[in-house]
Amino acid sequence: MADKALFCTGAGGFIGRYLLSRYLENETCEIFLLEQGRFRQRLEAFLDQYLADRSQRRRVTVVPGDITMRSLGLDAAAASEIKERVTHVVHLAALYNLSAPYEASVRVNVDGTVRLLDFLGEMQSLQRFAHTSTIAVSGKSGGIFRENDLDVDQEFKNFYDETKFLAEQQVRKRRGTLPTVILRPTTVVGHSRTGAIEKVDGPYYALTMILRNMHAVIPNTGDTKFHFAPVDFVTEAYYRLFEDEEAIGKTFHIVDPEPVSFEEFIELACKFLGKRGPILKLPQTLMRPVGRLPMFERITGVPREAFEASFYPVEYDTTNARVILDKYGVTCPRVADYIETMIRYFVEHSDDPRIRKGDWRAVTS
């Protein structure tokens, strides 16, 4: 059996950097990281700063490439070495920007995944492949979405959700020939102990609305859950699920199993920020059109897609995940235990343009 070697796409992203740290701290394997353009330079700079131990730094090779290209855009020598030596593959690369057009989202999220699957089919030593999906493949479905569910005739809120669904379909078609683990993380927020984040998403939009005092009137969402979890839990769960022998062939939701509701989150945030809570909760039929007004995002700081997420009451089954995570004692911290850290970091950094998503073209060039 070949010595362990890891190949990862998208390692320069938020989950990727924490997962990379986990492997460097706990594994002795060689690591190959696929990255393109200026993101490769940013990843190299991160590694040079993070890995003061030069022997550790020599374990990591950043290879230039592009998942949307044949053979992932690798030169012949790099492609040959990776196909021969790599045993474990983690696919994290994706276009996650709700303003991106359908064609661009398909090219990266669907076509890029198919290119990678084709490449994996030529690997000589492959023992395990992790595909990063998302709980958002549930789309606008309601009720309980189970880990084994995928196509339940759901509609989708945006092109990201739809193209990640299509990508997972492609992965499932190859599970008979590739040792696949499908991981569906929730919306990822900052580290539970430091609050550090990479980009504003999910609950941070709600915090933006509160900071602008735009929360006096909110939708009446009842018990609809607000799904997110801190990056330290997500990456530890990711690592444990991927590395466990029982995981191959299965799909896992990496979520907070006891999420707060949207309304509970607003109340908790208002309490910490010293703000008065919502005065009025209107029916969704009245509030939904408000989010589609031309000036809504500029005034509230909340994109329409994020605002409408609160209208879909879905819960996520974690049966598969819990079987494995319980073995390692991996649990998600309670929102009430880290929300102050989360909010404090956001308030201190809310004006930092580096945590704003910006133009989708900036992440595809």
Per-residue pLDDT of the chain (365 residues; tens, 9 = 90+): 458 999 999 998 899 999 999 998 888 999 999 998 778 888 888 888 877 777 778 889 999 999 999 999 999 999 999 999 999 999 999 999 877 899 999 999 999 999 999 999 999 999 999 999 999 999 999 899 999 999 999 999 899 999 999 999 999 999 999 999 999 999 999 999 999 998 888 899 999 999 999 999 999 999 999 999 999 999 999 999 999 999 999 999 999 999 999 999 999 999 999 999 999 999 988 888 988 888 898 898 888 888 887 788 999 999 999 999 999 999 999 999 999 999 999 999 888 777 655 443 444 44
- Indicate if the alpha-carbon torsion angle 198, 201, 207, 213 is positive or negative: positive
| DSSP designation for 347 | H
Residues 6+ apart with CB under 8 A from 129: 88, 89, 90, 91, 120, 178, 179, 180, 181
User: Phi and psi (nearest 5°) for 357?
Assistant: -65, -40
Give buried/exposed letters for 333-360 (b at 16+ CB in 10 A, else e): bebeebbebbbebbeeeeeeeebebeeb
